């Protein structure tokens, strides 16, 4: 179990790529709501698990990286969710963004998700260049074994 003391708050990013679009969309939604054309029950059945999953993934990733300063790492974190995704915190924020749009029923919040994903992808590419320069072959090997986001396995037909 991760203790609150072992979590490094500086490692829990509040990425502008998601925070700004969600904030702007929430303000616009408050001024002039644009509701999703889905029943509340359907939105909540889909949205709450996404919010819970995103929050759990963010806490798990933050705990796994508790002994590394992510803003300027001297080594890679390869445990916890970092064994399955090179960017679990960004993945967590994407889940939180999607879940927020569904739970609130805001079409505007969901409409900002593609922009947030593009901006996040660009940020990740820049971070990967920095890590590649700083960590060299270790990061190159990590890139070949762990997917940038998630690996979706296709089942083979028998």
Q: Where are the domains of the chain?
A: 16-65+76-145
Q: What is the model's pTM? A: 0.84
123 membership: H or E segment, kind and range: helix 113-135
23, 125 Cβ separation under 8 angstroms: no
- pLDDT value of position 154: 63
Query: Is the predicted pLDDT of residue 6 greater than 60, yes or no?
Result: no
Model pLDDT for residues 70-119, shown as the tens digit of each residue: 777 788 999 999 999 999 999 999 999 999 999 999 999 999 999 999 99
Find how far residue 3's CA is from the centre of its chain: 22
What tens digit of pLDDT does each residue of 112-158 get?
999 999 999 999 999 999 999 999 999 999 999 999 999 877 655 54
Separation of alpha carbons 134 and 50, rounded Å: 34
Residue in 90, 74, 87 with CA at minimum distance from that of residue 18: 90
Give residue-wise pLDDT tens across range 36-76.
999 999 999 999 999 999 999 999 998 998 888 777 778 89
The answer to whether 59 and 3 are in contact (CB under 8 A) is: no
Instruction: Name, in order, each residue with C-beta under 8 angstroms of 81's C-beta and a sequence gap of 6 or more.
Output: 57, 60, 61, 64, 88
């Amino acid at each position: 179990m991760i203790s609150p003391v072992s979590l490094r708050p500086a490692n829990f990013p509040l990425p502008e790529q998601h925070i700004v679009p969600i904030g702007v969309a929430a303000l616009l939604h408050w001024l002039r709501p644009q509701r999703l054309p889905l029943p509340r029950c359907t939105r909540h059945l889909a949205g709450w698990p996404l919010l819970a999953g995103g929050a759990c993934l963010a806490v798990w990733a933050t705990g796994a990286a508790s002994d590394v300063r992510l803003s300027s790492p001297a080594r890679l974190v390869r445990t916890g969710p970092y064994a399955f995704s090179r960017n679990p915190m960004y993945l967590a924020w994407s889940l939180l963004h999607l879940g927020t749009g569904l739970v609130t029923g805001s079409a505007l919040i969901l409409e900002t998700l593609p922009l947030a994903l593009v901006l996040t992808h660009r940020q990740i590419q820049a971070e990967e260049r920095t890590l590649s320069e700083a960590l060299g072959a270790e990061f190159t090997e990590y890139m070949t074994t762990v997917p940038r986001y998630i690996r979706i396995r296709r089942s083979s037909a028998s």
